[in-house]
Amino acid sequence: MKGGKVHQTCAYHSRSSILKSLVITNDFVSNSLSVKGCFELQERCLQNPLENLELTCGYLLEEDMKCLSQYPSLGYLKHLNLSYVPLFRISLEALGALLEKVAATLETLILEGCQIHYSQLSAILPGLSHCSQLTTFYFGRNCMSMDALKDLLRHTSGLSKLSLETYPAPDESLNSLARVDWEIFTPLRAELMWTLREVRQPRRIFTGPAPCPSCGSSPSEELEFHLCC
């Protein structure tokens, strides 16, 4: 991972210090630091299960992603945050493998702003569909076609605990400036909601740009559906 610095928070259990959370964020100043290098710095702590992993606003190489999927200590993750880490240039097979590994424990998955392209989506759908404990899923600001979004929503049919989820506006609703054309987007969003309700009943869902340029709503607010136009 390029341009990262490590922040850690430790929790204490009995007489031993156990690392429960590892956060690596980009400061755009420090030298290149790979995920493997960060984990080697924490080799002793990472012999214990990690519950929270945040790698944000940096750059992951394909070997970094493979490294993540292979660490035994990541098999019990509850929270995974890769927000604003560009993933469009790498294979997501390893991310899919990681999701399969943590499917029984993962509660929060944040892939906001990762620039994931719809052609990559199939690599993570099987793993995502098995994350039965997932309560929060952020997937906004990715590059998705209407068909890809429908496929994604159908693969969430078994995620009955989802209480907050966000998705991008489909590519078909964007104008030449990559901004949402609300006249096109509104019926497409209704179609997406119909697709979702065919497989499960959503609780809080936000589809489209955030914050909404029309009403100012954002996914962090207490809203059931984002329905303004």
**In the structure encoding, which two tokens stand for residue 50, read together?**
């990690």
CB 101 within 8 A of CB 68: no
Compare 212 and 160 and report the one with higher pLDDT: 160
Question: pLDDT (tens digit, 9 = 90+) per residue, 5-39?
Answer: 444 333 323 223 345 666 665 543 333 334 555 55
Establish if 17 belongs to a structural domain. no
pLDDT category at 198 given cuts 50, 70, 90 is very high
**136 and 107 Cβ atoms separated by less than 8 Å:** yes
Neighbours of 99 (CB within 10 A): 25
Q: Who has greater pLDDT, 169 or 228?
A: 169
Query: For the residues 74-98, what does the mean pLDDT come to?
Result: 94
Mean pLDDT of 1-5: 47
Q: What is the pLDDT of residue 47?
A: 62
DSSP-assigned letters across all residues of 71-118 = -GGGTT-SEEE-TT---TTS--HHHHHHHHHTTTT--EEE-TT---BG
Mean pLDDT over each residue of the chain, to the nearest integer: 80
Query: What pLDDT score does 16 carry?
Result: 33
- Does residue 8 lie within any of the structural domains? no
Residue range(s) defining the domain that contains residue 85? 49-207
CA atoms within 13 A on the CB side of 12: 2
Query: What's the pTM?
Result: 0.81
> What does the pLDDT read at residue 18?
45
Q: In this structure, is residue 227 part of a structural domain?
A: no
Give residue 166's pLDDT band: very low, low, confident or very high (50, 70, 90).
Answer: very high
Residue 67 lies in a domain: yes
- Point out which residues pair with 25 in neighbouring strands: 5, 56
pLDDT at 63: 85
Angle between helices 182-199 and 146-154 in degrees, nearest 10: 20
User: Cβ distance 43 to 77 under 8 Å?
Assistant: no
Distance between CA atoms of 57 and 73, rounded to whole angstroms? 23
Higher-scoring residue by pLDDT: 144, 40: 144
Q: Which residues contact 2 (CB under 8 A, 6 or more apart)?
A: 26, 32, 33, 58, 59
In a domain, 223, yes or no: no
* Residue 201 forms part of a structural domain: yes
Whether residue 133 lies inside any domain: the answer is yes
CATH code at 84? 3.80.10.10
Confirm whether 123 is domain-assigned: yes
Backbone angles phi and psi of 25, in degrees to 5: -120, 150
pLDDT of residue 8: 36
CB 79 within 8 A of CB 52: yes
The pLDDT of residue 139 is 97
How many distinct structural domains can be found in the chain?
Answer: 1
Statement: residue 4 has pLDDT above 50: no
**Interval 112-125: pLDDT, tens:** 999 999 999 999 99
Q: In what order do the strands lie in the sheet with 204-207?
A: 4-13, 16-26, 52-56, 79-81, 108-110, 136-138, 164-167, 204-207
Residue 222: per-residue pLDDT: 45
Pairing between strand 164-167 and 52-56? unpaired
Of 172, 175, 200, the C-alpha closest to 187 is 172
Averaged pLDDT, 44-50: 65
| Range from 32-41, 102-111, 170-179, 191-200 carrying the lowest mean pLDDT | 32-41
pLDDT at 210: 60
